Amino acid sequence: MAAYLCPPAVIHGENAVETSQILAEVHDRHPDAPWASRIDGIAASTGIDTRGWMLPLEAAVAPGTGGALRTGQAAAREALARDGFTEQDVERAIAALEAIPAPQTVQERTEPAWAAVQDYGERAARGALQAAGLDPSDVDCLITSNSTTPALPGLDVALANRLPLRPDTLLLPATQWACIAGTRSLALAADLVAADPDRVVLVVISEALSTTYQPADDSLESVIVRLLFADTAVAAVVTGRPRAESVLRLDASWHHTLPGTRDLHRLETREDGTHFVMDRRGPRAVQQTVTAMWEWLRRRHEDDVHAWHPDLLLAHPGGTRVLEYMEQTMPDDWPSGLLAHSRDSYTTGNRGGAAVLDILRRAHDAGQKPGSRTVLYAAAPGLTATAVEGEWL
């Protein structure tokens, strides 16, 4: 497998949301929660002061357009009248119920976010094509991912029309890849160009993770989710032959899925929208995929005359806790600082499937020596992981 990656384009959410704003909203809404006295310390431990969202915080916390009595108004009127209320009293009661704020519906949460996902995805796609010196008409295959704003037709069809792409372009949507979208898209793109080196593959990942912000949910896990996520769109071009614009050669990929772990991290769609549910056992399970990746790299390079090590680790394991585990378990003779760009990305939020390409862009902008050995790794709900190994050009 030899594929060539051009510089990725990264479009960050343009609405800056401060941690202090989230904390103020959380304390105001849940003043008596059991965790209220601890949440400021938890927020500080994330290391995130601000994150970018596609929509402002006000959009996430606003009440729904309908009152508490969204449906069943006729039945309520009938019940009140049956209990002896006068017509005037019935009207007052109905008006009072309608005035009670209600949570936003799935449609109210998702519709504006889906519009933003398409806009951001298009901007990232155009940026990646420009960076590769290509036009939309050059694209033979489009791989897309967006896990929090489901739609049919999806982002692939939207971009095919918006850019526009040729009618014979192969569209490959991968909505549920979530956090591994970056690494797995590159691995798939590399397989596609290995089969036909003249192919041009465009990867676009656009994630509005802020749609999982659920202000009424008073669980500690839900509050932590509110503090972590950022919205980002990324895109990159992969080709089967090197171009003047190519920056990284992709040489090998690895995939790993842990059985019996599908409930540790998941999205649940409820009446008020999408909820991201975390189990505290999750980070320890993700660590198992890290151990398996170390073994893959060991076997891959066990015959090297000189001790092999990467010069860069561009990793999105879901949080800094697993980054610490990676640092603790990597071989002792590997250099320090391999995860610096990964840590830098987390200081402005967890970007889900867009994270690895955001980290890659940070590494690119910092400047890399030709031949620098690089491993890209990510883990996602499932639990499933993908890694890609390559070298800077």
In this structure, the answer to whether residues 277 and 185 fall within a common structural domain is: no
Does the residue 333 lie in any domain? yes
Does the residue 126 lie in any domain? yes
End-to-end C-alpha distance for the chain, whole angstroms:
16
Mean pLDDT of 192-209: 97
In this structure, the answer to whether residues 224 and 264 fall within a common structural domain is: no
pLDDT beyond 70 at 67 = no
Out of 239, 258, 292, pick the residue that ends a domain: 239
Question: What was the pLDDT predicted at 321?
Answer: 87
In this structure, the answer to whether residues 32 and 155 fall within a common structural domain is: yes
pLDDT beyond 90 at 103 = no
Does the residue 48 lie in any domain? yes
The more confident residue out of 98 and 194 is 194
In this structure, the answer to whether residues 186 and 276 fall within a common structural domain is: no
pLDDT beyond 90 at 244 = yes
Domain ranges, residue 11: 3-62+107-239
CA distance 151 to 130: 27
In this structure, the answer to whether residues 175 and 309 fall within a common structural domain is: no
Does the residue 100 lie in any domain? no
pLDDT beyond 60 at 179 = yes
Contact, 156 vs 196, CB < 8 A?
Answer: no
Does the residue 172 lie in any domain? yes
Question: What was the pLDDT predicted at 293?
Answer: 96
Question: What was the pLDDT predicted at 265?
Answer: 81
The more confident residue out of 258 and 84 is 258
What is this structure's pTM? 0.90
| Beta pairing class for 141-145 and 200-207 | parallel
Mean pLDDT of 204-209: 97
In this structure, the answer to whether residues 43 and 169 fall within a common structural domain is: yes
Domain count, the chain: 2
Report the percentage of the chain scoring pLDDT > 70. Answer: 94
In this structure, the answer to whether residues 220 and 252 fall within a common structural domain is: no
Sign for the pseudo-dihedral over CA of 134, 136, 139, 145: positive
In this structure, the answer to whether residues 195 and 313 fall within a common structural domain is: no
Does the residue 228 lie in any domain? yes
In this structure, the answer to whether residues 231 and 119 fall within a common structural domain is: yes
pLDDT beyond 60 at 353 = yes
In this structure, the answer to whether residues 29 and 155 fall within a common structural domain is: yes
CA distance 296 to 299: 5
Three-state SS annotation for the chain: CCEEECCCEEEECCEEEEHHHHHHHHHHHCCCCCCCCCHHHHHHHHCCCEEEECCCHHHHHCCCCCECCCCCHHHHHHHHHHCCCCHHHHHHHHHHHHHCECCCCHHHHHHHHHHHHHHHHHHHHHHHHHHHCCCHHHCCEEEEECCCCCCCCCHHHHHHHHCCCCCCCEEEECHHHHHHHHHHHHHHHHHHHHHCCCCEEEEEEEECHHHHCCCCCCCHHHHHHHHHECCEEEEEEEECCCCCCCCEEEEEEEEEECCCCCCCEEEEEECCEEEEEECCCHHHHHHHHHHHHHHHHHHHCCCCCCCCCCCEEEEECCCHHHHHHHHHHCCCCCCCCCCHHHHHHHCCCECHHHHHHHHHHHHHHHCCCCCCEEEEEEEECCCEEEEEEEEEC
CA-based max dimension of the chain: 92
In this structure, the answer to whether residues 37 and 140 fall within a common structural domain is: yes
Question: What are 249's strand-pairing partners?
Answer: 4, 391
In this structure, the answer to whether residues 266 and 232 fall within a common structural domain is: no
Question: What was the pLDDT predicted at 306?
Answer: 74
Considering only 263-272, 305-314, 342-351, which range has the smallest mean pLDDT? 263-272
**Given pLDDT bands bounded at 50, 70 and 90, which one contains residue 117?**
very high
Does the residue 305 lie in any domain? yes
Burial of 117 (0-12, 13-18, 19+ CB in 10 A): buried
pLDDT beyond 90 at 149 = no
Report the percentage of the chain scoring pLDDT > 90. Answer: 69
Out of 239, 263, 278, pick the residue that ends a domain: 239
- Who contacts 173 (Cβ-Cβ below 8 Å, separation ≥6)? 143, 144, 145, 154, 155, 156
Cα–Cα distances in angstroms (integers) from residue 37 to residues 33, 41, 42, 226, 292, in the given order: 8, 8, 10, 17, 39
pLDDT beyond 90 at 31 = yes
Does the residue 102 lie in any domain? no
Question: What was the pLDDT predicted at 332?
Answer: 87
Residues 268-284 pLDDT 10s: 777 777 778 777 777 78
120: tokens are 């951001």
299: tokens are 């076997």
pLDDT beyond 60 at 119 = yes
**Given pLDDT bands bounded at 50, 70 and 90, which one contains residue 234?**
very high
pLDDT beyond 60 at 39 = yes
Question: 349 — alpha (psi -120 to 50), left (phi > 0) or beta?
Answer: left
Contact, 203 vs 143, CB < 8 A?
Answer: yes
The more confident residue out of 85 and 312 is 312
Out of 239, 257, 285, pick the residue that ends a domain: 239
**Given pLDDT bands bounded at 50, 70 and 90, which one contains residue 99?**
low
Residue 55: give its domain's CATH number.
3.40.47.10
Question: What was the pLDDT predicted at 94?
Answer: 63
pLDDT beyond 60 at 360 = yes
